[in-house]
Amino acid sequence: MDHSSEASSHAGQSPLSGDESSKLTDLPQWRALEAHYQAIKGLTLRGLFDSDPGRAARFTARGAGLFFDYSKNRITPETMRLLLDLARVRGVEKRRDAMFRGERINDTEGRPALHVALRAKKGHKIEVDGRDVVSSVHEVLERMAAFADRVRSGTWTGFTGKRIRTVINIGIGGSYLGPEMAYQALRSFADPLLSVRFIANVDGEEFRAATDGLDPAETLFIICSKTFTTQETMVNARTARQWCVGALGSDAVASHFVAVSTNGAEVARFGIDPDHMFVFWDWVGGRYSLGSAVGLSTMIAIGSEHFSEMLAGFRAMDEHFCQAPPESNMPMLMGLLTVWYNNFFRAETQAILPYSKALARLPAYLEQLQMESNGKHVTLAGRPVTYQTGPIIWGEPGVDAQHSFYQLFHQGTKLVPCDLIGFCRSDAKLPVHHDLLMVNLFAQAEALAFGQSAATLAEEGVPPVQIPFRVCDGNRPSNVILGERLTPCSLGALIALYEHSVFTQGVVWGIDSFDQWGVELGKVLARRISAEIQDADTVVSHDSSTQALIAQYRLWRSPKGEA
C-alpha cells in the first residue's frame, strides 16, 4: 500500500505525507515552540499565578459534563497559541473529520478507525464501502440488550434450569481491560445478585481463582476476542469448556457459552452457536471497543439502559471534540499538553491518578489505550521518527499512591505530569470520607504546583539543618479533571476524552495510532516456543540465553526434576 498517498489524501493540506512527515521538527510551528520553551522553561507556576489573577478562568474548559482545569501547567497564553498552531498545521481537525466520516485513517491496516460509530445515534449514517455501519451497530446493541435482559431477569437459564449468578468474561487486552475497568467503576449501578468476573491472564491461578466456589450450572462464559485466535484467551476458553462439560455434560455448552468476536468461523469451530455470537467489526480497535459487543459483560451487569447512558457520555464528548473551537476543546488541549511535556520538556512518563477507588483500573486501561496507540517509531510514511512519540503511562488511585510514590513527584529529579481525576459526589454515602478524598486531590495539585519554600519552612520554625530536606520546589504540572458524579454517562465522557487526546497526539506526531504491530512479534515467538516446551525431543534453536532458560524450565517443570 502506498501509505504516503493515503496519508496525504486524508490529511488535506497537512504535511503528513511522504518525506514531509519526518520533518515535523523542521516546521516553523515546531521551531517556534522550541524557542518558546527555552524562553519560558525557567518560569514558575507560583510566578505565573501571581502575575495573572485570571489564570484559573483562562485555562479551564468544560464539555460533556466534565470540568478540565489545566491552569497548573507550565504554560502561558503564548504556549497554547503555539500548540494550537501546531495542531492546525498538522491537520488535527481535518483528520478528526476524516475519522468521523469513516475514512481509512488506520493506514497501515487499511481500515477506518470508527469507534465513534459505536455510539452514534440511531438514524445517523456513517458509510464504510458504501454501507451504513450505524444501523449494524444498533442491530447488535439491540441483540445485546435482549440477551442482557434475559440473563438479568432469569429467563435465560443455565442447562439445568438454574438462574445465572456469575458471568465470566474470558478475554485479554482490549477484550478485557475496558469491561473490567467499567464493571469496577459502575459497581453501584450493577445488579447485586449477579457478579462478573474476568479471566485474562493465562496463569492457571487466574482461572482457578475466578471459578473458585462457583456452580457451573449458574455460570455463563463470554468468550471475548476480536480475532478468536489469541492463544491465552483460547487456552482459557477451552479450560472453561472442560470445567463446564465436566460438571454438566457437552450439551450444556449452548446454555453456558456465548462469544463476542469478528471471526464467525473460529467461533463456530470452537462450538458456540452463531445465534449466541455478538459481532463487532474490524474497524473497531480492541482498545477502543468497550462500546461494542465487547461491553456485553458490562451491559449484563448494569443493564441496557445504563449501557446506553454510557454510550451517550461517549457521544457527548465526541460532539464536543467535533464542535468546540480548538481553544476550548478539551481533548485537543489535553493532547497538546502531552506533546508539550513529551517533546519540549522531554518528560518520559505521565501519571494517571484517579481520586476514586471505583476507577482503580483506569490507569491500566489508559496504559493500553495510550501506549498501544502511540508507542510508535515510524511515521505514516514508514520513516523513522526523529522525535519522541507516546509517553509511558502509569498510575494508581490517588491517596493510596500519595503514601507510596508521590515522594518522587514532590522531591525527585524527574518531571512527571499528572492527571488527577475526581468526582464531587459519591455513592458510598459516607460524605466525611468523600470530602477527605477530594481534599487530598486539591491539596496534591496545589502542593505539586507550588511546593514549599525554604523561607516558609524557616518562618514555621523548622530547624535550619532540616530545611534542605523539607523543601519542595513545586513547579510540577498537573491537569485536574472533575465530574459531578461517577455515572455511566460521565465514565463514557471520560474515556472518550482520553481517546481523542490520544488521537490528537498521534496526528501531531504523524503516526498511526490505530495499529499495534509491535505486539505481534511476541505472539509469534510464544507460539514457536509453545511447541518446543511440550516435547523434550524437539530441537530448540534460539540465542544462548533463551535456549538456557527453556532448558532450565524443562528441567524444573517435572516434579522429579527430569527433563
Residues recognised as catalytic: 372, 403, 523
Number of helices (H), then strands (E), in the chain: 24, 13
Among 439, 519, 526, 533, which residue interacts with ligand F6P (rule: CB under 6 A)? 519
- Taking the CB of residue 528, how many other CB atoms lie within 10 A of it? 10
Q: Is 516 in the site for ligand F6P (CB under 6 A)?
A: yes
Is 513 a residue that touches ligand F6P (CB under 6 A)?
Answer: no
What is the nearest approach in angstroms of ligand F6P to the Cβ of residue 322? 26
Query: Which is closer to ligand F6P, CB of 255 or CB of 289?
Result: 289
Shortest separation between residue 176's beta carbon and ligand F6P, angstroms: 8
Phi/psi for 239 (5° steps) reads: -65, -40
Region near ligand F6P per CB under 6 A, out of 84-92, 141-149, 172-180, 194-202: 172-180
Contact between 18 and ligand F6P per CB under 6 A: no
Residue 391 within binding range of ligand F6P, rule CB under 6 A = no
Q: Please, what's the largest Cα pairwise distance for the chain?
A: 78
Among positions 230-249, residues that touch ligand F6P (CB under 6 A) are 230, 233
CB of 263 to ligand F6P, least distance (A): 8
CA-nearest of 431, 461, 441 to 397 is 441
- Return the H-helix or E-strand segment holding 294: none
Site size for ligand F6P (CB under 6 A): 15
Confirm if 183 and 196 have CB atoms less than 8 A apart.
yes
Specify the residue, 8 or 516, whose C-beta has the smaller distance to ligand F6P.
516
Stretch that binds ligand F6P, among 158-166, 168-176, 190-198, 246-254 (CB under 6 A): 168-176
In order, the DSSP letters of 367-380 are HIIIIIHH--SB-T
Of 54-62, 157-165, 220-228, 465-473, the window that binds ligand F6P (rule: CB under 6 A) is 220-228
Pairing of strands 219-224, 166-170: parallel
CB of 391 to ligand F6P, least distance (A): 19
Nearer to ligand F6P, 218 or 282 (CB): 282
Q: Is 227 in the site for ligand F6P (CB under 6 A)?
A: yes
**Comparison of 63 and 173: residue with beta carbon closer to ligand F6P:** 173
374 belongs to the binding site for ligand F6P (CB under 6 A)? no
Q: What is the nearest approach in angstroms of ligand F6P to the Cβ of residue 203?
A: 16
Q: Where are the beta strands (DSSP E) in 236-302?
A: 257-261, 277-279
User: Which residue lies nearer to ligand F6P by CB, 222 or 482?
Assistant: 222
Residue 170 backbone dihedrals phi, psi, to 5 degrees:
-105, 115
Q: Which residue type does 325 have?
A: P
CB of 253 to ligand F6P, least distance (A): 20
- 434 counts as binding ligand F6P under rule CB under 6 A: no
Q: Which is nearer to ligand F6P, 490 or 516 (CB)?
A: 516
Of 15 and 286, nearer to ligand F6P (C-beta) is 286
Kindly state the smallest distance separating residue 230's Cβ from ligand F6P, in Å. Answer: 3
Is there binding between residue 225 and ligand F6P (CB under 6 A)?
yes
Contact string (CB under 6 A) for ligand F6P, positions 332-371, x = contact: ----------------------------------------
Cα dist from 335 to 61, 341, 480, 505, whole Å: 14, 10, 14, 5
Q: Which is nearer to ligand F6P, 171 or 354 (CB)?
A: 171
Cβ-count burial 186-222 (b if 16+ within 10 Å, e if not): bbebbeeebebbbbbebeeebbeebbeebebbbbbbb
Say how far apart CA 477 and CA 175 lie, in whole Å. 33
Closer residue to ligand F6P (CB): 20 or 107: 107
Distance CA 96, CA 87 (A): 11
Q: Closest approach of Cβ 258 to ligand F6P, in Å?
A: 15
User: Pairing relation of β-strands 66-69 and 478-485?
Assistant: antiparallel
How far separated are the first and last CA of the chain, in Å rounded?
Answer: 48
Element of type H or E holding 479: strand 478-485
In angstroms, how far is CA 169 from the centroid of its own chain?
Answer: 18
Residue 180 or 372 with smaller CB distance to ligand F6P? 372
CB of 312 to ligand F6P, least distance (A): 25
Evaluate whether 78 touches 85 at the Cβ level (below 8 Å).
no
Member of 118, 148, 170, 172 binding ligand F6P (CB under 6 A): 172
Stretch that binds ligand F6P, among 99-107, 226-234, 374-382, 464-472 (CB under 6 A): 226-234
CB nearer to ligand F6P: give 261 or 329.
Answer: 261
Q: Which stretch binds ligand F6P (CB under 6 A): 42-50, 107-115, 167-175, 385-393?
A: 167-175
As measured in angstroms, the least distance from the Cβ of 553 to ligand F6P is 23
Interface mask (CB under 6 A) for ligand F6P, residues 267-306, using x and -?
A: -------------------xx-------------------
In contact, 37 and 452? CB cutoff 8 Å: no
Closest distance to ligand F6P from the beta carbon of 282 (Å) = 11
HSE-CB at 322 with a 13 A cutoff on CA atoms is 13
Determine contact, residues 467/457, Cβ cutoff 8 Å.
yes
533 binds ligand F6P (CB under 6 A): no
Which residue in the shown chain puts its C-beta closest to ligand F6P?
286
The Cα–Cα gap between 320 and 333 comes to 12
CA distances (Å), 241 to each of 246, 252, 257, 532, in order? 8, 9, 8, 26
- Taking residues 173 to 192 in sequence order and writing x for each that binds ligand F6P by CB under 6 A, - otherwise, the string is xxx-----------------
* Concatenated DSSP letters of 412-463: SSS---EEEEEEEE-SSS-HHHHHHHHHHHHHHHHHHHH-B-HHHHHHTT--
The H or E element that residue 80 is part of is helix 77-90
Question: Which residues contact ligand F6P by CB under 6 A?
Answer: 171-175, 225-227, 230, 233, 286-287, 372, 516, 519
